[in-house]
Chain A
Amino acid sequence: MAKLVIEISHAPFGHENAYSGLFAAMGWVSVGNEVLVVLRGDGVHVARKGQADPLGEISLPPTEKQVVDVLGEGGRIVADRRSLEVRGVRKDMLIEGIEVLDTDDIFPLMLEEGERVLTF
C-alpha cells in the first residue's frame, strides 16, 4: 500500500490547514492506502477531544470527527510530546487512538514512512 505522511502544524478553526490536511488524509486512506498524520507545534490542538463550535460562529469545521474517521480507516496519528507539554495539553485530553511520541522518534518515522510528505 502506498504511504503518505501529512504534517500538520496549524491549530483547527483558526486556519484551513488542519481541516484540509485531514481531508486529504481521509481521501488517501479511504481508497486503501496508508497514512501517517504528524501533529506538531500548534497542530497538536487537532488531537484534543471535545472540540465544538456550538454557536456556529467560527464556520471552519471542527477536526475531531475527521481524526476519528482517519483512525477508523486504519490511519495512524501521532502527536509531538514536547508540543503538547508546552501548550498544557495532557494525554487525558486527547482523542482516543492518537499516539504521543518524542520528537526524536517522530523524525525517523517520517523518514521511514515518507514516500510522499505534505505539509499543512
Chain B
Amino acid sequence: MVEGRKKTVGMMLFSAPFSSQYADHMCRLAEKALEKGYNVEIFLYGDAVHAQMSEQRPKTFFPVGDAIGRLVEKGAAVYSCEICSIARGYIKGELKDGKKDYSSTKVIAGIRFCSIYGFVEMLGRADKVLSFGGS
C-alpha cells in the first residue's frame, strides 16, 4: 500500500492495441498500481485511441478493451485525445447545446475526452509519469 498521501501515476499510451504489447503492459501495470493503492490516470494519444473502441474481440491477443473497461470500473481515470479521436471517427466533438458532443456508440463507457491541455494538467498532477509506445 502507498503510505501517506495517495500518489498518482500518470501513463501515456501512444501505440494501438494488438500491433505491439505496449497497451498490454500499460493495462497490466495500471491494474497493479490500483491494487497497490495508487491513483491511476491514463492518456490515450495518437493511434492509442483505438484502445478505447468498444466490443473488441481479439481471439488470441491480450483483451485490451476488456482491460481498459476494468480499469475504468476500478477507478482509473482514462482520458482520450479529443482531436485524435475525431480524426479516427470515434466522436464528432462538435458543439451541441453549448457543449462538445462526445457521445459515441464506438467507445468503452467511462472514457473521458480532453484536449492537449487536459493531458498537460494530468502530467502536472502525476507523481510519476510512465510512457508506453512511441519509441
Measured CB to CB, the residues of A under 8 A from B are 2, 4, 7, 9-10, 16-17, 20-21, 23-24, 26-28, 31, 33, 115-120
The reply to whether B119 and A24 contact each other, CB–CB distance below 8 Å, is: yes
Q: Assess whether B120 is in contact with A28, with CB atoms less than 8 Å apart.
A: yes
> Is the CB of B131 closer than 8 A to any CB of chain A?
yes
Interchain residue pairs with CB less than 8 A apart (8): A2-B124, A7-B135, A9-B135, A20-B14, A20-B134, A28-B123, A118-B12, A120-B135
A20 touches B120 (CB 8 A): no
Closest residue on chain B to residue A40 by CB atoms: B135
Given A17-B14, A20-B45, A28-B123, check contact A118 B116 (CB 8 Å). no
Q: Is B72 an interface residue when CB atoms closer than 8 A count as contact?
A: no
Q: Which chain A residue has the least Cβ–Cβ distance from B115? A: A27
**Chain B: residues with CB nearer than 8 A to chain A?**
10, 12, 14, 45-47, 116-117, 119-120, 123-124, 126, 129, 131, 133-135
A9-B135, A16-B47, A20-B14 known; A118-B129 Cβ under 8 A: yes
Report the minimum CB–CB distance from A105 to chain B (whole Å).
Answer: 20
Report if A118-B117 is in contact (Cβ < 8 Å); known contacts: A4-B123, A17-B14, A20-B46. Answer: no
Known: A24-B116, A31-B120, A119-B133. 19 other contacts (CB 8 A): A4-B123, A10-B134, A16-B46, A16-B47, A17-B46, A20-B45, A20-B134, A21-B134, A24-B120, A26-B116, A27-B119, A27-B120, A28-B120, A116-B123, A117-B129, A118-B12, A119-B14, A119-B131, A120-B134
Verify A31–B47 contact, CB threshold 8 A: no
Query: How far apart sit A16 and B135, CA to CA, in the bound complex (Å)?
Result: 12
Q: Which of B117, B119, B131 makes the CB contact (< 8 A) with A117?
A: B131
A-B contact count (CB 8 A): 51
Which of A9, A17, A31, A116 is within 8 Å of B117, CB to CB? Answer: A31
**A33 engages B135 (CB within 8 Å):** no
Contacts of B135 in A (CB 8 A): 7, 9, 119-120
Cβ-neighbour of B14 out of A4, A27, A117, A120 (below 8 A): A120
In the assembled complex, the Cα of A31 lies from the Cα of B121 at a distance in Å of 10
Chain A: CB-nearest residue to B132: A119
**A119–B14 alpha-carbon span in the complex (Å):** 9
User: Which residues from chain B contact A24 at a C-beta distance below 8 Å?
Assistant: 45, 116, 119-120
